[in-house]
Amino acid sequence: MEPTAAQESQAAGWWRQAAVYQVYPRSFADSNGDGLGDLKGVVSRVPYLAQLGIDAVWLSPFYPSALADGGYDVDDYRDVDPQLGTLADFDEMAARLHERGIKIIVDIVPNHTSSRHAWFLEALAAPKGSPARSRYIFRDGLGPDGALPPSDWTSMFGGPAWTRVPDGQWYLHLFAAEQPDLNWENREVRDDFLTTLRFWSDRGADGFRVDVAHGLAKNLAEPLEPLPARHHPAGLNGTHPLWDRDEVHDIYAEWRQVFNEYDPPRAGVAEAWVHPSRRPRYASPAGLGQAFNFDLLEANWRAGEFLRVITDGLAEAQRNGASTTWVLSNHDVVRHASRYALPAQDHLESTENAKGWLLSNGTSPEPDLKLGLRRARAATLLMLALPGSAYLYQGEELGLYEVADIPAELIQDPSFLRSGGAEKGRDGCRVPLPWSPDGASFGFGASAAHLPQPAWFGPLSVQAQEHDPASTLVMYRQALGWRRRLRTAERLEWVPGGHGQVLHFARPGGWQSVTNFGSEAVPLPPGTVVVASAPLKEGLLPADTTAWVLGS
């Protein structure tokens, strides 16, 4: 039977309200006992993913990499790291996921390659001004003997964004020195990425998460423009020399054409840490189609902040035909069960400050972990009731906290090293998952894991939780199951009341979500409570709790 137009458009829009689960492959499941997660490990856990009830998996980079930045330093965009498996393993993984109706989103890292990429090795061996160098951003230094960096540009991981090579030139890296930035004015660079997009699309990728999507276009006109002063509006109008320039969208317009060669069209989601007013351009149907909205992740646990973020996010999506995205945790930030265990943070006036807070402040003052998890569960349940797509990060379904006490000598994150220890780095949310209460690495693999796991992982393991109806894992399973059945039109209606401490909304079809941010228990609307983030108190919704109510 021919699919109807509605079915067809539904197939094309699968991502619009998808629950997407982020797998950080090196920390998910280790099939061969070398301490590093791998693709066969993912395959072995496909039944788990299916039972969880997600619609898609987003895999952080699994490409060959020296791991200078957790795999975001890619040696070869069209291969699998031998430590993680082979292309055949990728195919097997794709087949197993697709069999269970789970889509695959792969992570594309276009801003920079690794310093071991064939192109960069070629550039180092080639002379100044050569075509090989023009795939990257090489410049002569300043000062009489060129010993000063070509500009004041700084790396996101601390220190100058320029590193000098033996013949005296400097190359640009907005991240680690092992991550040289590509020159996106170079046609060959552009074409090669189109080849990569087709390569993975042909192998079954249903979509792409685009790393540092706001960084590709730079103002490379001579003399190189200095960084604007901190509060200069450059970040708001597309005139910053490095970030969020308007020309970047020409690149995604080309990518969109490739996405649309496929049926259904491949999906895209931009990782763009830009001002909210600039986000719609990335999410445009003529561009990547979706962009991460990190506003929820940056919000404090306060009704007013959540209300504003949700209202703005939905309005923005409606204006530009995209669907909203929601994120509470990912591999770059302190896990939300730990964030909400800390006092609220004010004056997060810029994304940069907020990120600094998220990255560095997982430990002090002493976190109230019980409260943190309670709020994290309530926040997740609220998020999963919203129209749009929800991005979940591996381990949040177990209620994992940030591992805040990794010894300095075991830390892998370049932001820790390059900031001289000022930034704690992101390893604390990347510790391999606990699958069972004991064993060499809590069921992650047959030996110790590549980052140390704390003893408290045991009781939070999958096995310890899966038969406990009060566990976080069971709450996620129930919520994702109901979400699949209940999600309807991408709309919600706010239900007033609650004196500013309660967020209550209804989705078409009789699905209501109520969250109590206040300190007193509040009544629930009539109907059946199908999931709650904590037990009700004599029929009332207690503090820091969300419940879903069906009917009437």
The nearer residue to ligand GLC, 133 or 331, going by C-beta atoms, is 331
The nearer residue to ligand GLC, 269 or 514, going by C-beta atoms, is 269
Cα distance between residue 405 and residue 132, in whole Å: 43
- Judged by CB under 6 A, which of 19, 56, 102, 212 binds ligand GLC? 212
Instruction: Choose from ligand GLC, Ca ion, none: what does 89 bind? Cβ within 5-8 Å by kind.
Output: none
Cα distance between residue 217 and residue 199, in whole Å: 24
Q: How far is the CB of 139 from Ca ion (least distance, A)?
A: 40
Q: Which two tokens stand for residue 531?
A: 């999931």
Query: Please, are residues 245 and 219 in contact by the beta-carbon 8 Å criterion?
Result: yes
Q: How far is the CB of 330 from ligand GLC (least distance, A)?
A: 7
Cα distance between residue 55 and residue 62, in whole Å: 20
Cα distance between residue 85 and residue 192, in whole Å: 23
The nearer residue to Ca ion, 35 or 289, going by C-beta atoms, is 35
The footprint of Ca ion on residues 148-207 (CB under 5 A) is: none
Q: How far is the CB of 111 from ligand GLC (least distance, A)?
A: 7
Nearest partner of 377 among 413, 416, 419, 337, judged by Cα: 337
Beta bridge partners of 494: 505
The footprint of ligand GLC on residues 109-148 (CB under 6 A) is: 109
| Count of chain residues binding ligand GLC (CB under 6 A) | 10
The nearer residue to ligand GLC, 38 or 211, going by C-beta atoms, is 211
The nearer residue to ligand GLC, 26 or 477, going by C-beta atoms, is 26
For the chain, the straight-line distance linking the first and the last C-alpha, in angstroms and rounded, comes to 37
> 56-59 and 103-108 as β-strands: parallel, antiparallel, unpaired?
parallel
Q: How far is the CB of 421 from ligand GLC (least distance, A)?
A: 18
Phi and psi at 164, nearest 5°, equal -90, 145
- Judged by CB under 6 A, which of 30, 38, 55, 69 binds ligand GLC? 69
Nearest partner of 544 among 516, 523, 525, 502, judged by Cα: 516
Taking contact as CB under 6 A, which single stretch among the options 67-75, 83-91, 114-122, 296-304 is the one that binds ligand GLC? 67-75
Q: What is the DSSP string of 287-304?
A: TTS-B---HHHHS-S-HH
- Amino acid at site 130: S
Tokens 């704390």 -> residue: 454
Instruction: Choose from Ca ion, ligand GLC, none: what does 332 bind? Cβ within 5-8 Å by kind.
Output: ligand GLC
The nearer residue to ligand GLC, 69 or 397, going by C-beta atoms, is 69
Q: How far is the CB of 326 from ligand GLC (least distance, A)?
A: 17
Q: Which two tokens stand for residue 25?
A: 């492959």
Query: Please, are residues 384 and 296 in contact by the beta-carbon 8 Å criterion?
Result: no
The footprint of ligand GLC on residues 381-410 (CB under 6 A) is: none
- Amino acid at site 247: E
Query: Please, are residues 505 and 512 in contact by the beta-carbon 8 Å criterion?
Result: yes
Residue 388 per-residue DSSP state: S
What is the contact mask toward Ca ion in residues 26 to 55, using x (rule: CB under 5 A)? ----x-x-x-x-x-----------------
* Number of residues that this document lists for the chain: 552
Q: Which two tokens stand for residue 264?
A: 């259904």
Residue 211 annotated among the catalytic residues of the structure? yes
> 162-164 and 138-139 as β-strands: parallel, antiparallel, unpaired?
unpaired
Q: How far is the CB of 278 from ligand GLC (least distance, A)?
A: 17
> Does residue 332 touch ligand GLC according to CB under 6 A?
yes
Taking contact as CB under 6 A, which single stretch among the options 68-76, 116-124, 315-323, 448-456 is the one that binds ligand GLC? 68-76
Q: Closest residue to ligand GLC, Cβ-based?
A: 72
The footprint of ligand GLC on residues 450-489 (CB under 6 A) is: none
Q: Which two tokens stand for residue 402?
A: 């940030």
Q: How far is the CB of 29 from Ca ion (least distance, A)?
A: 9
The nearer residue to ligand GLC, 70 or 287, going by C-beta atoms, is 70
> Does residue 108 touch ligand GLC according to CB under 6 A?
no
Q: Which two tokens stand for residue 524?
A: 């629930």
- Judged by CB under 6 A, which of 63, 120, 136, 175 binds ligand GLC? 175
> Does residue 68 touch ligand GLC according to CB under 6 A?
no
The nearer residue to ligand GLC, 70 or 399, going by C-beta atoms, is 70
Q: Which two tokens stand for residue 476?
A: 């996620």
Radius of gyration of the chain, Cα coordinates, nearest whole angstrom = 23
The nearer residue to Ca ion, 93 or 473, going by C-beta atoms, is 93
**What is the CA 61 to chain-centroid distance, rounded?**
12
List of residues 6+ apart from 394 with CB closer than 8 A: 21, 22, 23, 24, 27, 28, 433
Query: Please, are residues 309 and 487 in contact by the beta-carbon 8 Å criterion?
Result: no
Instruction: Choose from ligand GLC, Ca ion, none: what does 225 bind? Cβ within 5-8 Å by kind.
Output: none
Which of 261, 468, 493, 520 is catalytic? The answer is 261
Query: Please, are residues 520 and 544 in contact by the beta-carbon 8 Å criterion?
Result: no
Instruction: Choose from ligand GLC, Ca ion, none: what does 38 bind? Cβ within 5-8 Å by kind.
Output: Ca ion
Which of 178, 181, 211, 225 is catalytic? The answer is 211
Q: How far is the CB of 40 from Ca ion (least distance, A)?
A: 8
Residue 181 annotated among the catalytic residues of the structure? no
What is the contact mask toward Ca ion in residues 359 to 378, using x (rule: CB under 5 A)? --------------------
- 279's enclosing H/E stretch is helix 279-283
Q: How far is the CB of 366 from Ca ion (least distance, A)?
A: 36
Chain residues binding Ca ion by CB under 5 A are 30, 32, 34, 36, 38
Chain residues binding ligand GLC by CB under 6 A are 69-70, 72, 109, 175, 211-212, 271, 331-332
Active site residues: 211, 261
